């Protein structure tokens, strides 16, 4: 039965991680590499199988056979439905790709590297599937601790230490906030199972304690997601993470927290807050749009390629949050599909960055001006172009279908033009970078852009920062490194052409947003009725908006590439002061980031205290 496979999604990587931690130092390098790849590929296959098996109704697995009695859950459960299972499959796929890339990328790795990657995989899978609020926190912590260690993998570099510290401090603060919210919920309901919490809270109107608990849990998860104003740690951490690790961070780890928030809201709090759903929607939409806008602007202002992708992660996370905030099946379906297609592109681009750094000796757009104008850089240039256009929701490929679902979802009409503009801005940043690096267009200096400090190379990556001018063997090695990125781009572009994929996600979202039916299944074991079948075809408005976003991205990239040697125009001089002011907020000082965290928590708490009644 499919239910018997559920615990393997976390048990297999955890057992393999323990074995590799104990034995890897005594084994040839290829053994831990191959073992980790096989385990990650197995989790990918399990995710796909569970996605298909849970289409009719969710699969509930109780560890140790501790099933509920009399509506009270003492055991720990995983609730598997197509949306969560598909994200587990994505997590396994990106982990597999990163491990394949690592095999050729690192000349040598510490004996704990593979164990940490598998522990991160297990943490993300458990985080996506857990139906128990406290165990969501446990998986959150396992995922975070593994990520801290992997972020600081090149520990001998001072910039890496600083980025890892910022990551650790801010995320640990978010974890404490999440735990405090869980304590308040447990004190009110005496339950930790999400279905049982939903049943207990849904029988009464929300009061001050429920509102505070919901705010604390929301904040803790949004810190991990990197939503504004809790996002400041993200660029510092992603900028110093090794490429295979950064691909996991940007491809799935951050966005997974948004999905877990959606599960916590629908299963645990939607009954209590249903009468105030407009206030929840407006608050989440505000955070989503703010994340999309600030992330897009900061992405456009960066010259460092990793920081560009870090702020793109913030911006596109805002699009995902806005889709969830619409509180409709179509919005949630679009948001989840967006995570998958966008995550594939982001991971591919992060891996491509690494080959550019290794080949050209820098990860800075301005420093790389024209260096990629050689035939051997044609493949990275093609990946840059495909990813950049994918970020703009180029019709009919990749992210277009997910963006169209959000566009066509019922709800307020004002957010999507703003979100589409943000997609265009983030796409333009990478179109500009690709044109500057691989075509030599634009000036070598730009006062609006923040260049990477320090010596050549890129923090967090192996090597001495010297360009690789190797011969045919080196070229073949680079091609092998780029194959995983090409595979991810092809998968992202092909997703939109999978027959009925949009309808399947909408159908799964209908089931996801029926918490009473899910709770009845979890607590009594009785299967709910199958969700109604759905159909979907993008509207002409969605096509027009996506095409306009793509055209705007191309135009903005062209405008931002001034003729070399020209003087800065009046508009550019006007833009420099506010750009510097915005950059100054992202100063790398963990104390400042903690202050912004506190400010955001208080603002969100005050807003919801006044509206969730």
More confident residue, 258 or 413: 258
CA distance 363 to 246: 14
Question: Which residues partner with 450 through β-bridges?
Answer: 302
Say what percent of the chain tops pLDDT 70: 93
Q: Has residue 564 got a pLDDT over 60? A: no
CA distance 382 to 348: 12
Structure tokens at 578: 């506010």
Query: Any idea how long the chain is?
Result: 613
Domain limits at 169? 158-611
Taken in order 69, 75, 76, 77, the sign of the CA dihedral is: negative
Q: What is the pLDDT at residue 466?
A: 56
Question: Which residues partner with 130 through β-bridges?
Answer: 78
Domain assignment present for residue 339? The answer is yes
Q: How many Cβ atoms are within 10 Å of 222's Cβ, its own excluded?
A: 29
Domain assignment present for residue 177? The answer is yes
Say what percent of the chain tops pLDDT 90: 54
Whether the Cβ atoms of residue 405 and residue 502 lie closer than 8 Å to each other: yes
Domain assignment present for residue 10? The answer is no
Segment 548-551 long-range contacts (CB within 8 Å, at least 24 positions apart) = 548/420, 548/424, 549/392, 549/393, 549/420, 549/421, 549/423, 549/424, 549/427, 550/389, 550/392, 550/393, 550/394, 550/395, 550/424, 550/427
CA distance 418 to 367: 32
**526-541: per-residue pLDDT in tens?**
888 877 788 899 999 9
More confident residue, 394 or 155: 394
Domain assignment present for residue 132? The answer is no
Instruction: Provide the 3-class DSSP secondary structure of residue 368.
Output: coil
Q: How many Cβ atoms are within 10 Å of 336's Cβ, its own excluded?
A: 28
CA nearest neighbour of 400 among 243, 610, 545:
545
Q: Has residue 73 got a pLDDT over 70? A: yes
Whether the Cβ atoms of residue 126 and residue 175 lie closer than 8 Å to each other: no
Domain assignment present for residue 115? The answer is no
How many domains does the chain divide into?
Answer: 1
Whether the Cβ atoms of residue 241 and residue 335 lie closer than 8 Å to each other: no
Domain assignment present for residue 80? The answer is no
- pLDDT band with cut points at 50, 70 and 90 for residue 87: very high
Domain assignment present for residue 53? The answer is no
Q: Has residue 477 got a pLDDT over 70? A: no
* For range 190-218, the mean pLDDT: 89
Structure tokens at 484: 């995983």
* For range 450-463, the mean pLDDT: 58
CA distance 530 to 520: 14
Instruction: Provide the 3-class DSSP secondary structure of residue 459.
Output: coil
- pLDDT band with cut points at 50, 70 and 90 for residue 565: very low
Backbone phi and psi for residue 78, each to the nearest 5 degrees, phi listed first: -110, 135
Domain assignment present for residue 478? The answer is yes
**293-335: per-residue pLDDT in tens?**
999 999 999 988 999 999 999 999 999 999 999 988 899 999 9
Instruction: Provide the 3-class DSSP secondary structure of residue 82.
Output: helix
CA distance 162 to 166: 6
Find where tokens 């955001």 sit. 600
Q: What is the pLDDT at residue 566?
A: 45
């Amino acid at each position: 039965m499919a239910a018997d496979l559920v615990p393997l999604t976390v048990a297999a990587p955890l057992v393999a991680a323990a074995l590799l931690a104990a034995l890897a130092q005594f084994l040839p390098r290829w053994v831990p590499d191959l073992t980790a790849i096989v385990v990650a590929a197995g989790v990918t296959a399990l995710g796909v199988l569970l996605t298909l098996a849970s289409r009719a109704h969710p699969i509930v697995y109780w560890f140790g056979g501790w099933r509920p009695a009399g509506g009270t859950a003492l055991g720990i459960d995983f609730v598997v439905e197509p949306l969560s299972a598909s994200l587990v499959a994505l997590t396994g796929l990106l982990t597999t790709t990163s491990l394949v890339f690592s095999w050729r990328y690192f000349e040598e790795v510490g004996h704990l590297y593979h164990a940490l990657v598998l522990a991160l995989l297990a943490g993300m899978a458990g985080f996506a599937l857990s139906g128990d609020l406290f165990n969501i926190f446990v998986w959150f912590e396992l995922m975070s601790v593994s990520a801290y260690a992997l972020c600081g993998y090149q520990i001998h570099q001072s910039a890496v230490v600083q980025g890892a510290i910022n990551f650790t401090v801010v995320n640990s603060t978010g974890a404490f906030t999440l735990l405090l919210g869980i304590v308040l919920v447990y004190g009110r309901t005496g339950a930790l199972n999400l279905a049982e919490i939903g049943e207990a809270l849904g029988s009464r109107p929300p009061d001050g304690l429920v509102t505070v608990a919901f705010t604390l849990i929301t904040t803790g998860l949004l810190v991990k997601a990197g939503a504004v104003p809790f996002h400041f740690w993200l660029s510092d951490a992603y900028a110093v993470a090794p490429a295979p690790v950064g691909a996991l961070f940007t491809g799935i780890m951050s966005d997974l927290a948004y999905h877990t928030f959606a599960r916590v809201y629908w299963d645990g709090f939607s009954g209590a807050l249903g009468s105030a759903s407009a206030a929840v929607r407006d608050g989440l939409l505000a955070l989503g749009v703010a994340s999309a806008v600030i992330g897009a602007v900061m992405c456009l202002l960066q010259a460092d390629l990793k920081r560009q992708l870090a702020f793109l992660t913030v911006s596109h996370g805002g699009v995902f949050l806005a889709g969830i905030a619409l509180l409709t099946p179509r919005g949630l379906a679009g948001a989840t599909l967006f995570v998958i297609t966008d995550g594939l592109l982001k991971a591919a681009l992060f891996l491509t960055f690494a080959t550019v750094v290794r080949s050209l000796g820098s990860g800075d757009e301005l420093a790389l001006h024209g260096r990629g104008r050689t035939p051997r850089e044609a493949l990275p240039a093609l990946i840059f172009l495909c990813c950049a256009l994918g970020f703009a929701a180029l019709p009919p490929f990749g992210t277009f279908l997910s963006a169209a679902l959000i566009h066509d979802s019922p709800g307020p009409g004002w957010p999507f033009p703003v979100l589409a503009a943000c997609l265009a801005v983030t796409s333009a940043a990478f179109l500009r970078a690709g044109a500057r690096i691989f075509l030599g267009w634009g000036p070598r200096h730009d006062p609006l852009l923040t260049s990477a400090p320090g010596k050549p190379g890129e923090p967090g990556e192996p090597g001495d920062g010297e360009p690789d001018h190797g011969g045919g063997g080196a070229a073949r090695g680079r091609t092998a490194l780029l194959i995983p990125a090409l595979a991810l781009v092809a998968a992202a572009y092909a997703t939109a052409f999978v027959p009925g994929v949009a309808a399947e996600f909408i159908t799964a979202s209908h089931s996801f947003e029926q918490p009473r039916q899910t709770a009845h299944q979890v607590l009594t074991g009785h299967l709910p009725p199958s969700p109604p079948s759905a159909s979907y075809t993008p509207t002409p408005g969605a096509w027009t908006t996506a095409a306009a976003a793509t055209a705007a991205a191309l135009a903005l990239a062209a405008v931002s590439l001034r003729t070399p040697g020209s003087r800065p125009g009046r508009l550019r001089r006007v833009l420099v002061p506010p750009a510097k002011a915005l950059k100054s907020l992202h100063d790398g000082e963990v104390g400042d980031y903690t202050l912004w965290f506190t400010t955001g928590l208080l603002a969100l708490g005050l807003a919801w205290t006044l509206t969730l009644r």
